[in-house]
A and B are shown apart, each in its own frame.
Chain A
Amino acid sequence: MSEAVTKAGPVASAHSHATSRNYLNHDKRLKSWLLTVDHKRIGLMYMVSVSTAFLAAGVLALLVRAELLTPGETLMGPDTYNQLFSLHGILMVFLFIIPSIPAVLGNFVLPLQLGAKDVAFPRLNLASYYIYLIGGVIALMALLVGKVDTGWTFYTPYSSRVGTSVLFLTTGVFVMGFSSILTGLNFIVTIHKMRAPGLTWNRLPLFVWSIYATSIVQVLATPVIGITMVLLFMERLLGIGIFDPALGGDPVLFQHFFWFYSHPAVYIMILPAFGVISDLIGTFSRHEVQGYKFVALSSVAIAFLGFLVWGHHMFVSGQSAISSIIFSLITYLIGIPTGVKVLNWVGTMYRGSVWLQTPMLYALAFLFLFSIGGFTGVMLGVLAIDVHLHDTYFVVAHFHYVMMGGTVIAALGGLHYWWPKITGKMYNETLGRIAVALIFVGFNVTFFTQFVLGSQGMPRRYYGYLPEFQSLHALSTYGSWILAFGLFLVLFYLLYSLFRGKQAPSNPWGALTLEWTNATSPPDPHNFIRTPVVTRGPYDFHKAPELFGNGHAGDGAPVTTAGDPSAAPKPKA
């Protein structure tokens, strides 16, 4: 190979990295962070906020589980307990999981994967972040004003009776909704208008497709929860009956409005996770993701169909039997493309080159845990079975398997995958693997027991319980300690890597998407020296030898120095 070392684009070599100018070190003033319009810095700020919410809500979960060690009072009285589980849900849903992957990884990675300099509306992006923060602060002020023990779903009329603290909460949710809507809008425009030359829709990384589908849901669904919050306010302030039967309203109407948003919201939570898993499995199997078109288009289909199933949260609410039947049927039909995606991911590994690094271990854990979540979702969708299982621990276990075993595991996998790109450092791989094992075991012990608790009849949101459920509750609590230990271990070694981690090369994983092939670790403030020109797919690993040259197929292969004009990618078609 007498040609120049690489055709993968102008990227600084690993050695000159440490001192080179990048988005983290080019301006260190506080103002440059607080008023940044750099999508990478905004993504990082979201990471800090979202992780803080996750930590706080996680501690609340540990307290809730600790109380449940014994059937009666263990650490606290019922009022405190009811507030703790409510706050756990509120922080986790609104301050952590809905923003999580889109606002952190989406913000950071999306423009890079598109070969763009930033998102379409950088200032709007910063505004989204501050709107999220302000909304979060308003919601938390509810704690100062009074008690919030309505659960994160704040069904009426109980929530109407609770007092003004609920109004702070609803206002906070209303404000945070705008962050979600504006980010979604920003991403849709970015994907449509700012793709690099040659980056056709069929060459988009699947992470981008998933962010696209998520953004559609964010823009269409979030206004509904906003309006619902406004209606709650109007009912309280003007005394008009909408949801409160004491004023002539209908409490089931609240449930319809609430779930009309909150069901699509769970697709906001899981679609980006699917995108992360696609990129992880593709890269770490060194194979194009099997069924690329199906996986891409089914994400968009799920985004739209997700608006038609909200009633499956309401089978025993008093909603008509006919509606329940229709919602049940559509719920199954959405389950099928999701299941096929899992089969496609497993199929991607077939005859691939599987590299069991930490991100891939997270991807495998996802396949296991999300599948259980998915199958139990089908069980809950069966009308006759849901009558028994609704509002029991079975539902709690199901949604933790999909939201935590799904989204959080995928987020952790994505975090580990893109950590070198975001920070320029490598974390300790051995600790990474130990943490995955602890999290996987801890998670299953905590939550699988809850399926059994639920099918045996144990209701959810219960402070006290019958003695016959104690051994399962205790086992679940012990599991939560293992899970917490694993998560704290992750926090520890990731923070440690910032100070003592090895310098990361531009492309430690041998991936083929633009953030890896054409940007340094960490990237330049403007991402690319020049706009990449794309002439291949995102997972065309069979072209890796020509792309990376020197007999390398990635894996930390050194590439040319920055500014090399001959280094625009010119692979054979």
Chain B
Amino acid sequence: MGDKGTVWLPEAISSIAPEVDSLFYFVLWTSTVIFVAVMVAMTYFAFRYRRRNASEVPPVVHESRILEMAWIVIPTILVLIVFTWGFRVFVKLNVAPGDAYQIQVRAKQWLWEYQYPNGTTSISDLYVPIGRPVRLVMSSEDVLHSFFVPSFRVKQDVLPNRYSSVWFEATREGTYQIFCTEYCGTQHSGMLGKVIVQKEADFQDWLSSAGAGDMTPEEYGELLFGQNNCKVCHSIDGSRLVGPSMQGLFGREEQLEGGGSVVADENYLRESILVPSAKVVATYSNAMPATFTSLNAQQLDALIAYIKTLQ
């Protein structure tokens, strides 16, 4: 439980959380009052009217029409109040502000991957700026998952065949728990993460360091090589796949399709990632998709540093 939470609820860290909480407490306390009243009546009747001898026959009681009307009408009114209030907050929960900062979320057994507008990705931990609406656009790569941040009071199932979304505006810096809340197999309870809420400036710093954090360029490049599925077409052990193997590539002279040759230096590697069709190696087809233009400079540097290590 958070140190600023209550018995029932964790700390309220999003702009919508206090509204959800007020509604929660209203329903909780109204229910409690009614419940206690009915239980007191029940207990009182059980003792006050207990059977005193075996043959007593109690009088017939005719139910009061007023009481009957009251206990239908009053709950109906209460229920309609709660419904309307809940409906309004639900609409707010569902409609993200137009200027929300959008982050893609991909769920898979058993981790969360986030991709930010500048191409940076992070795994498990979601970085967000404070005081700005953030909208998550989510899909799953395998089975149903569900993205839940108790402190923000938001939750949405993540589906494999379409996008679902959730939005929030974090109101306090700090680290908050993410859970997966749709059973997804063995490590369902291990599919955790943290939302890291930072001041806008710190968030931008993090973002422009491309989420490399403490990794060296070579380590970061290795991570990116895996995340971007380069291995599907480019082996690192010399075997020929759809594309040339990365092993021993750096510094080698390559013959090109259509004649000519080039030394595979930093510029060649950079160009081949961003514009794959520019210099295709001989005997290979022009099959590499041109989808890696979203990689930023730091990421490109990291990939190249990694490829250099593959001798």
Chain A residues proximal to chain B, CB less than 8 Å: 78-79, 82, 149-151, 155, 157-158, 161, 245-246, 249-252, 285-288, 290-291, 294, 316-318, 321, 324-325, 328-329, 332-333, 335-336, 339-340, 342-344, 346-347, 349-356, 364, 367-368, 371-372, 375-376, 378-379, 382-385, 387-388, 390-392, 452, 455-457, 459-466, 468, 510, 541-542, 544-545, 551-553, 555
Quick check: B157 and A466 within 8 Å, CB to CB? no
Chain B 136-171, CB within 8 Å of chain A: the 1/0 string? 000000111010101101111101111010000000
Quick check: A161 and B143 within 8 Å, CB to CB? yes
A328–chain B nearest beta-carbon distance, Å: 6
Quick check: B9 and A286 within 8 Å, CB to CB? no
What's the Cα separation between A368 and B37 when bound, in Å? 11
Tell me which residues from 152 to 192 in chain B have a Cβ below 8 Å from any Cβ of chain A: 153-157, 159-162, 164, 177, 179-190
A320–chain B nearest beta-carbon distance, Å: 10
The residue in B60, B150, B183 that gathers the most chain A C-beta atoms within 10 A of its C-beta is B183
Q: Which residues of A contact B1 (CB under 8 A)?
A: 456, 468
The 29 sampled A-B contact pairs (Cβ below 8 Å) are: A78-B186, A78-B187, A82-B188, A245-B160, A246-B160, A251-B144, A287-B60, A316-B156, A332-B80, A333-B79, A336-B75, A336-B76, A340-B72, A342-B38, A346-B38, A347-B63, A347-B67, A349-B49, A354-B50, A368-B42, A375-B31, A378-B27, A382-B82, A385-B24, A391-B148, A391-B182, A456-B150, A457-B10, A461-B189
Given A353-B51, A463-B189, A468-B1, A332 and B58 contact (CB-CB distance below 8 Å): no
Chain B 11-40, CB within 8 Å of chain A: the 1/0 string? 000000001100110011001101100110
B61 to A, closest residue via Cβ: A351
Q: Which residues of B contact A391 (CB under 8 A)?
A: 146, 148, 155, 181-182
Quick check: A352 and B177 within 8 Å, CB to CB? no
Question: 11 additional contacts, CB 8 Å, given A378-B82, A455-B9, A457-B10?
Answer: A82-B186, A250-B161, A285-B58, A332-B83, A336-B76, A350-B45, A353-B51, A382-B86, A452-B7, A455-B8, A555-B55
The residue in A249, A328, A384 that gathers the most chain B C-beta atoms within 10 A of its C-beta is A384
What's the Cα separation between A340 and B190 when bound, in Å? 44
A151 to B, closest residue via Cβ: B183
What's the Cα separation between A555 and B51 when bound, in Å? 11
Quick check: B50 and A356 within 8 Å, CB to CB? yes
What's the Cα separation between A84 and B197 when bound, in Å? 38
Given A251-B160, A252-B159, A328 and B83 contact (CB-CB distance below 8 Å): yes
A334–chain B nearest beta-carbon distance, Å: 10
Quick check: A339 and B56 within 8 Å, CB to CB? no
Quick check: B143 and A318 within 8 Å, CB to CB? no
Q: Which residues of A contact B162 (CB under 8 A)?
A: 318
Quick check: A158 and B183 within 8 Å, CB to CB? yes
Quick check: B31 and A378 within 8 Å, CB to CB? yes
Q: Which residues of A contact B183 (CB under 8 A)?
A: 82, 150-151, 155, 158, 461
Quick check: A371 and B38 within 8 Å, CB to CB? yes
Q: Which residues of B contact A553 (CB under 8 A)?
A: 54-57
Q: Which residues of A contact B185 (CB under 8 A)?
A: 82, 149, 158
What's the Cα separation between A347 and B45 when bound, in Å? 9
Quick check: B159 and A318 within 8 Å, CB to CB? yes
B94 within 8 A of A: yes
What's the Cα separation between A150 and B55 when bound, in Å? 56
What's the Cα separation between A317 and B122 when bound, in Å? 25
Q: For the side of the interface on B, what is the size category? A: 35 or more
Quick check: A456 and B87 within 8 Å, CB to CB? no
**Which 10 residue pairs of A and B lie closest in terms of their CB atoms, listed nearest first?**
A457-B150, A245-B161, A384-B89, A383-B90, A375-B31, A462-B189, A382-B86, A391-B181, A349-B45, A158-B143
Quick check: B50 and A385 within 8 Å, CB to CB? no
The residue in A151, A157, A249, A460 that gathers the most chain B C-beta atoms within 10 A of its C-beta is A157
Tell me which residues from 71 to 129 in chain B have a Cβ below 8 Å from any Cβ of chain A: 71-72, 75-76, 79-80, 82-83, 85-87, 89-91, 93-94
A335 to B, closest residue via Cβ: B79
What's the Cα separation between A228 and B157 when bound, in Å? 22
Given A346-B45, A390-B155, A286 and B144 contact (CB-CB distance below 8 Å): no
A71 to B, closest residue via Cβ: B189
What's the Cα separation between A367 and B38 when bound, in Å? 9
Chain B residues proximal to chain A, CB less than 8 Å: 1, 5, 7-10, 19-20, 23-24, 27-28, 31-32, 34-35, 38-39, 41-42, 45-46, 49-52, 54-61, 63, 67-68, 71-72, 75-76, 79-80, 82-83, 85-87, 89-91, 93-94, 142-144, 146, 148, 150-151, 153-157, 159-162, 164, 177, 179-190
What's the Cα separation between A321 and B166 when bound, in Å? 13
A81 to B, closest residue via Cβ: B189
Given A387-B154, A388-B155, A346 and B72 contact (CB-CB distance below 8 Å): no
B52–chain A nearest beta-carbon distance, Å: 8
Q: Which residues of B contact A350 (CB under 8 A)?
A: 45, 49, 61
Query: Of A456, A459, A545, which is within 8 A of B148 by CB?
Result: A459
What's the Cα separation between A321 and B159 when bound, in Å? 16
Given A346-B45, A457-B179, A385 and B55 contact (CB-CB distance below 8 Å): no
Query: Of B19, B41, B55, which is within 8 A of A384 by CB?
Result: B19
Quick check: B75 and A339 within 8 Å, CB to CB? yes
Given A149-B185, A354-B49, A157 and B144 contact (CB-CB distance below 8 Å): yes
Quick check: B50 and A287 within 8 Å, CB to CB? no
A125–chain B nearest beta-carbon distance, Å: 37
What's the Cα separation between A464 and B191 when bound, in Å? 10
Given A150-B183, A324-B90, A354-B51, A346 and B42 contact (CB-CB distance below 8 Å): yes
What's the Cα separation between A429 and B28 when bound, in Å? 37
Given A158-B184, A336-B75, A382-B23, A78 and B46 contact (CB-CB distance below 8 Å): no
Query: Of B42, B57, B180, which is within 8 A of A544 by CB?
Result: B57
B46 to A, closest residue via Cβ: A354
Quick check: A456 and B180 within 8 Å, CB to CB? no
